[in-house]
Structure 1
Amino acid sequence: MAATIIIPAKLKEKLEELERKREITLEELIVTALDEKFSLLNPEDKAEIHLELCEKYLSDAEELLRKKDSVQASEKGWGAASQILKAMAAKEGKELRSHRELWEYASELRIKYEDEELGVFWREANTLHMNFYENWMPLNEVELTVRDVKRFVEKLRRLMKR
C-alpha cells in the first residue's frame, strides 16, 4: 500500500540530489535510510517492498510508453528489473546495493537455475538503463524490451515461490 508524504522543498531538493548521485529511486532511498536508521524491516518485509516497487515501476513504464516517453519508460523498466532481483535477494537475507552486485546476483541466478533466459532478460533490462542516459533506442524497441522485463519479473516471481 502506498502513502503520500509531504516534505519541505529544500529537503526534496537534497533527496533528489542524493537520488541522482546514488542512482536509486526516491522511494528506495527513503526506505533504505529509514531501515538503516531504525532497523524496521525483516527480510520478508524488504522483499515485499521491493516487489511493490517492481510492480509500481512496471505500471509506470507502461503508462510512459502510452505517452510515447521512451526515455522515462526505459528507466522505469530497468527499475522494475532491479527491484525483482532485490526482492529475490531480500528473501535470502541479502541486500544488493550496487550495479555490480545486481549483475553478480543475476549471473548467480542464471547459473543456479540453469536458465539462460534470466541472463538475456537481465542484459536487455540494462539496455533500458543505458537508454535512459543515451536515448538511442526507438520507441518500438523500448516497448519490446519492457515486455521482456515483464517476462523476467514473472520468471523470478515463480522462482521466489519455490
Structure 2
Amino acid sequence: MLATEHIDTARRFLADADREYESGDILQASEKLWGAATHVVVAEMQKRDIDANGHRKIKGFVRELGEELEDPALFSFFKHAETLHVNFYHAFLSEENFEEHRELVRRFVEQMIESAS
C-alpha cells in the first residue's frame, strides 16, 4: 500500500467506527479506530522511508515523532488507540470510557492526516 492509500484507509475506518458504534457494536468500533490510528502512522513512516514491520516499531515511531514535534500528547493519543485494540479482545471499556478514547483517537488520526498533507 502507498502512503496515500493508508490515509484513505484510515479515513474509511473512522467512518466505519462511527457506523459500528451507532449500531451498538463497541468492539468493532474499537478495532476500526485502532486500525485508523495505525494506518496513519504507517503512512507517515512510509513517507520517511521507515519500515513499519510490527507493533513495537510503530509505537516507537509515534514516541519519537511526538518528541520530534515537541508534542507529547501524540504518544498519549496513540496509547488510547492501543487501549481500544485491547478492548476489541477483552470488552472491558464502558460506553462512557469508550467515548473518551474514541474522541482522543479521532483527534490523533485527524492530526496525523493534517500533518501528512
TM-score range relative to shorter protein: over 0.9
1:106 aligns with 2:66: no
Code of the residue aligned with 1:102 in structure 2: it is I
Deviation at 1:96, TM superposition (A): 0.8
1:93 aligns with 2:49: yes
Unaligned runs of 5+ in 1: 1-30, 32-45
How far apart, in 2, do the equivalents of 1:69 and 1:153 lie?
21
- Segments ≥4 residues shifted beyond 6 Å: none
Structure 1 residue aligned with 2:84? 128
Give CA-to-partner distance per residue, 1:73-113, whole Å, 9 cap, x none. Answer: 10001110000101111111223120001111111101100
- The aligned length equals 117
How far apart, in 2, do the equivalents of 1:124 and 1:91 lie?
24
For residues 25-40 of structure 1, the aligned pairs below 5 Å read none
Per chain length, whose mean CA-contact separation is higher, i.e. which structure has more relative contact order (CA < 8 Å, sep 6+)?
A: 2
How far apart, in 2, do the equivalents of 1:135 and 1:121 lie?
20
How far apart, in 2, do the equivalents of 1:97 and 1:84 lie?
14
SS of equivalent residue, structure 1 residue 68: coil
Deviation at 1:153, TM superposition (A): 1.2
- Larger mean Cα displacement after TM superposition, 138-147 or 125-134: 138-147
How far apart, in 1, do the equivalents of 2:111 and 2:14 lie?
15
Structure 2 residue aligned with 1:76? 32
Structure 2 residue aligned with 1:25? none
Structure 1 residue aligned with 2:116? 160
- Normalised by the size of structure 2, how large is the TM-score? 0.94
Identity percentage of aligned residues: 32
Give CA-to-partner distance per residue, 1:4-44, whole Å, 9 cap, x none. Answer: xxxxxxxxxxxxxxxxxxxxxxxxxxx5xxxxxxxxxxxxx
